[in-house]
Amino acid sequence: MINKVVNNIDEALKGVESNMTFMFGGFGLSGIPENVISRLSKIDLFGLTCISNNAGIDDFGLGLLLKRKQIKKMISSYVGENEEFERQMLSGELKVDLIPQGSLAERCRAGGAGIPAFFTPAGYGTEVAEGKEIREYNGKPHILESALTADFAFVKAWRGDNAGNLIFKGTARNFNPLMAMAGTITVAEVEELVPVGELDPNQIHTPGIFVQRILQGENYEKRIEQRTFRKRE
């Protein structure tokens, strides 16, 4: 069994360069690769294209990279929690490709499965469909969407083993497994790293074949974007 454990975050990021395309797993601030993002925000990497469901918040997640203007283009679904993102987009500093959430997920999955493109009804009749091929299936118009891949995919799992097998927890299971498949090099940081054989094979969400590097994460903040409180009666 191949041991894919790296000793530290810098070893995990070996080979990253400016102008690359990165995928970041997570949903909102849930299940984002906090350790990787923090380290990337301290490296002189610029001109990045980042694929992520969200763009973090101003002082956390991908907001840290946006603050240093390391990102030239965002491919995302929901970006409403980041004022710096809004400022850069409206000023023209940041290129943005907004994609329906289901289409974004399927484009990542297709990239990992080796499917170059697919037709979907989502987005037809909107700006999303501009310049794209349209075909009719079952009496309904569909637009052609291309698969998404990345030079590096960065994901965060609840548990993982030395061979790169991963288990995600709760909401973190949304985009992480899809993006883990679509990176040329996939780096997984985990809350708990265990020896091979410790994970129940029936519980594994991402097989180690999709992961090239894995490391034990630390000091997870697990922030919440918006807190809602119930009034006391």
pLDDT tens digit sequence for 57-103: 888 999 999 999 999 999 999 887 788 888 999 999 999 999 999 99
Predicted local distance difference test score (pLDDT) of residue 189: 97
What percent of the chain shows pLDDT beyond 70? 100
Predicted local distance difference test score (pLDDT) of residue 1: 67
The answer to whether 66 touches 94, Cβ cutoff 8 Å, is yes
What are the tens digits of pLDDT across the range 178-212? Answer: 999 999 999 999 999 999 999 999 999 999 999 99
Q: Is the per-residue pLDDT at 2 higher than 90? A: no
- For residues 12-34, average pLDDT: 95
Pairwise CA distance, residues 152 & 75, whole Å: 15
Q: Delineate the domains of the chain, giving CATH numbers in brackets.
A: 9-113+148-216 (3.40.1080.10)
Choose among 196, 198, 204: nearest CA to 176: 204
Reported as type and span, the H/E element at residue 86 is helix 83-91
Predicted local distance difference test score (pLDDT) of residue 225: 73
Predicted local distance difference test score (pLDDT) of residue 82: 83
- For residues 133-157, average pLDDT: 97
* E runs forming strands in the chain: 21-24, 48-51, 71-76, 95-98, 117-120, 134-137, 140-146, 150-161, 166-167, 183-194, 213-216
The answer to whether 58 touches 82, Cβ cutoff 8 Å, is yes
DSSP state of 230: P
- For residues 160-166, average pLDDT: 97
Give every CB contact of residue 91 below 8 A, 6+ residues apart in sequence.
Answer: none
Q: Dihedral, CA atoms, 215, 220, 226, 232, nearest 10 degrees?
A: 140
- For residues 154-171, average pLDDT: 96
The answer to whether 98 touches 78, Cβ cutoff 8 Å, is no
Reported as type and span, the H/E element at residue 67 is helix 63-67
Pairwise CA distance, residues 162 & 196, whole Å: 6
Query: Amino acid letter at 183?
Result: G
Pairwise CA distance, residues 165 & 214, whole Å: 9
Indicate the pTM of the whole model: 0.92
Predicted local distance difference test score (pLDDT) of residue 136: 97
The answer to whether 38 touches 197, Cβ cutoff 8 Å, is no
* E runs forming strands in 41-199: 48-51, 71-76, 95-98, 117-120, 134-137, 140-146, 150-161, 166-167, 183-194
Q: How many residues does the chain have?
A: 233
Q: Is 199 helix (H, G, I), strand (E, B) or coil?
A: coil
